[in-house]
A and B are shown apart, each in its own frame.
Chain A
């Protein structure tokens, strides 16, 4: 059971937009910064979003992040087949003194 809650799967057609939610509590998302990772099959996770809404160099602006209260959201516009992957949210949990992750969301681009 993951500390952060994500939907197991989402899907959308190429060119469309999708959002992935990540729900937590005041000890994690509510008082800490959220990161998002993309994991393509058989590869290591890749940082997509950090500090709630910042993109590392090289990440296209099709990817965006936001946070409100104890929830965070990853948005992806202009979906491409290459976006099919597992997406994870992560943040520090002040009560556990540990980094915690969501269970992951599998994105299918139909």
Chain B
């Protein structure tokens, strides 16, 4: 069974950076696209970007360009999302999600449990 297990909650100061990990098990990590989606308190889902581990290619939502870096370590089946220049509006639960392979679109079939990042002075 596929599982995505994320790192624990973080409390960060404004202006600092945070790096969240997402370790995959039960599937062929390199073959799948991993996306990062965040959800601010009481708000909806917001896509941040994605990476194809086998290619090492990442794409980012325009809103986060220059502030987010998504990487993947094939040797440990782990994806990472680093967000810099944190501000209070970045307080949210951050999810990693796997894109289903056998589909015409890009549905997210497995999700991590979420990582709460709190930005506060």
Contact = CB atoms under 8 A, between A and B. Distances in A.
Interface in A18-73: 32-35, 37, 44-47, 50-52, 54, 56
A2 B47 CA distance: 11
Interface residues of A, number: 28
Contacts of A56: 100, 109
Given A91-B105, A98-B62, A44 B47 contact: no
Contact of A47 (B35, B47, B95, B107): B107
Interface residues of B, number: 24
11 contacts: A33-B104, A35-B105, A45-B97, A45-B111, A51-B107, A56-B109, A88-B44, A99-B35, A99-B47, A101-B45, A101-B46
Closest A-B pairs by Cβ, 5 of them: A33-B105, A50-B107, A99-B47, A44-B111, A35-B107
Interface of B: 35, 37, 44-47, 50, 59, 61-62, 95, 97, 100, 103-109, 111-114
